[in-house]
Amino acid sequence: MLLGSAARYSRLRSTYIEISNYFRYRPATLRTGLRCNVAPVRSFQALSCLREQPHIQPSHRPFLEEYKKAVEFPPATHDFETFFNQAAPDQEVVLHGYLGNRADLSKKLSFARLTDPTMTQNIQLISFAKNDAFQKLKSVNANSPVAVRGKVQSKKGSGPDTPKNECWELFVEDIHPLNDFPKDIIMTPETVFPPEQRYLQLRSDGELRDALRFRAQVHSICKDGLEKCQPPFVEVETPLLFKSTPEGAREFLVPTRRPGMAYALPQSPQQYKQLLMASGIPRYFQFARCFRDEDLRADRQPEFTQLDLEMSFATGEDVMRIMEEVIRKLWSSLMKESAPSGPFKRLSYQDAMSRYGSDKPDTRFGMEISRLDYLLPVDLISKITPLTESFVDVFKMEGNDNDPEATTKFITEFLDSPAGAPFNNNPDGAPGIFVYNAKKPLCGLQPFGFEAAEHLEDILELDHGDLIVIQARPKAPFTGGSTAIGDLRRALQTAAVSSGFKPAPTGFDFLWITDFPLFSPSSETEPGQGGTAGIQSTHHPFTAPKTAGDVDALLTDPTQAIADHYDLVVNGVELGGGSRRIHDAAVQEFILRDILQMPAERLADFDHLLSALRAGCPPHAGIALGFDRLVVVMLGKESVRDVIAFPKSGKGEDPMVKAPSLMSSEALDMYRLRLRE
């Protein structure tokens, strides 16, 4: 059976991938021999062999002849935008672009569209069989880059009201193919290219390219805004080859040829920007590349960009004010609706966790959480949790059209779906779910008992068809980013919107979350600062205690100390965070050595910072916004991959260039590394 060209292409491709993977994943030692056979084709030695063999002189190869034609191609007389503004009938022009599909109207007449290099504009080409260009046009595949020389003509029927870019067409006088777009790559509006062909994903998807253009605008508006502040922020690049310091995240190491010596890629420019504050640069910013070898939770990239800034002689209040101005400028320049004109709302970590069960709540859709255990019958509590000491929280989700059946259907489908599974399997107990139904005894709230049911009706202002969710949690202070009921609140809202049970909330809800605990219990999954005290810095170890009372708490109970740390949240997304820093060397050393109990050799990793603080460093504060995430929020996209030109996959790999790749035995030798069996 003859294979269609797409199938043939895909079979050839997978064979190629298999072969290339075969070579790639062979152990480095085995590969050495094979590479010797392959590599010389590209080496200078091999080229000199070619010179000695006249039958394979480069000039005898047809592709080199083709290439020579493309080397010297006519320069464009106009870009499309300028052309549309200046075009005049009978004008001779040369335009560059991609050829579209050709329509042959007769043996003597063909049409094709020429799309400009930005792929945002196009013009109709007309070709008659009266010159060579007619045959040349026919020999060029659609999507190939070309230079077209032609004569301008005004389009029939166009008038003063016709948009400028639809007034003109071009009679082709010559066409200069610049490269071929092969027939075996099928590119239609429906084609979905795999991540291995990211360049074709980008080329075939105008939305992706628009997102990159939008990203560039966001970049320049932020830069412009910061540089116009008084005094201005100064853009400073800080090194990417940094050293390993236990700041909080797992790092990527870069081995060097000096035995046992490695750089670390910065998890953020945090220490360098504080060093700048000690260097007499009072206001710094940078679009900083950051690297974190994290377990890739949803939509995280191992390398990402931050809009990072720091200010000296400043407090957190100054930083929040500057950031609000940047956001307002961005929203007024690029968005349909504006950001709040006054200071953004603020919510303490405690309030965010107790009212929304999240330290990055979306407060647009209500469903506020409150404590309920004080009015619950003991037997109900024991039914919903195995915990002996617990708090119980509740929230209400408004029903749809006063229809309890619709609510029951929605919640049943949710709990039976994969999204519901983690909540059913919660070791602290599954949620208790009730649908308020005025037609049922005690409105469907019998397990609460008469008194509690009445209270509940009052507190939650229940209506026919409302959903009531209760959930137990351990009787302990909040830690971490969310509670089970907070996660459930969020998941139910997402499911309700995607199933059409509820409309999607609109608008942008900016929020500062403040007053985080300065320290949290050490995490099993995050490296923290490597101290032995059983606690780690919630933000990073350079964050200052908020008040004089919080400084005192360092001596009595550090877990009670509140941090001068602020996170900027919008619509349930943490855009970034920052803090006022400890600018006093003795206090910084005390936190690292006595509170976190870092071993001496880890403490020594921070010598540079302690010395700089000791050298009269002024008070300072700063923030970093996740730049990829900021663009995602502004564009309403699903994933940071939609706003990054060459993103990594969920496994942290670049499937196009195939990174990371196995180290060759030569590289291992060079860095004096040995792989453990």
Q: Residue 372 or residue 624: which is nearer to ligand ASP going by CB?
A: 624
Q: Kindly indicate which of the ranges 193-201, 377-385, 403-411, 572-580 contains the residues binding ligand ASP, using the contact rule CB under 6 A.
A: 572-580
By CB under 6 A, is residue 578 in contact with ligand ASP? yes
Least Cα distance to 611 among 261, 271, 130 occurs for 271
Give the three-state DSSP class for 569.
strand
Residue numbers 56-115 binding ligand ASP by CB under 6 A: none
Q: Residue 404 or residue 622: which is nearer to ligand ASP going by CB?
A: 622
Q: Is 624 buried (19+), middle (13-18) or exposed (0-12) by CB count in 10 A? A: buried
DSSP letter string over 303-370?
Answer: EEEEEEEEEES--HHHHHHHHHHHHHHHHHHH-SSPPPSSPPEEEEHHHHHHHHSBSS--GGG----E
Least Cα distance to 600 among 539, 522, 531, 541 occurs for 531
By CB under 6 A, is residue 211 in contact with ligand ASP? no
Nearest distance from residue 271's CB to ligand ASP, in Å? 9
Whole-angstrom distance, CA of residue 49 vs CA of residue 51? 5
By CB under 6 A, is residue 305 in contact with ligand ASP? no
With a CB cutoff of 8 Å and minimum separation 6, the contacts of 669 are none
Q: How many residues bind ligand ASP (CB under 6 A)?
A: 8
Nearest distance from residue 625's CB to ligand ASP, in Å? 9
By CB under 6 A, is residue 520 in contact with ligand ASP? no
Q: Residue 404 or residue 577: which is nearer to ligand ASP going by CB?
A: 577
- Counting Cα atoms < 13 Å in the Cβ hemisphere of 72 gives 3
With a CB cutoff of 8 Å and minimum separation 6, the contacts of 532 are 597, 598, 599
Nearest distance from residue 571's CB to ligand ASP, in Å? 20
Per CB under 6 A, the list member of 110, 143, 268, 520 interacting with ligand ASP is 268
Which structure tokens are listed for 577? 């965070």
Q: Residue 116 or residue 247: which is nearer to ligand ASP going by CB?
A: 247
By CB under 6 A, is residue 394 in contact with ligand ASP? no
By CB under 6 A, is residue 577 in contact with ligand ASP? yes
Cis peptide before 182 (omega within 30 of 0): no
Least Cα distance to 606 among 532, 531, 547 occurs for 531
By CB under 6 A, is residue 271 in contact with ligand ASP? no
For residue 553, the 8-state DSSP code is H
By CB under 6 A, is residue 622 in contact with ligand ASP? yes
Nearest distance from residue 542's CB to ligand ASP, in Å? 7
Nearest distance from residue 623's CB to ligand ASP, in Å? 5
By CB under 6 A, is residue 270 in contact with ligand ASP? yes
Contact between residue 121 and residue 146 where contact means Cβ atoms under 8 Å apart = no
Per CB under 6 A, the list member of 579, 580, 602, 635 interacting with ligand ASP is 579
Q: Residue 393 or residue 567: which is nearer to ligand ASP going by CB?
A: 567
Nearest distance from residue 595's CB to ligand ASP, in Å? 18
Q: Which residues bind ligand ASP (CB under 6 A)?
A: 268, 270, 577-579, 622-624
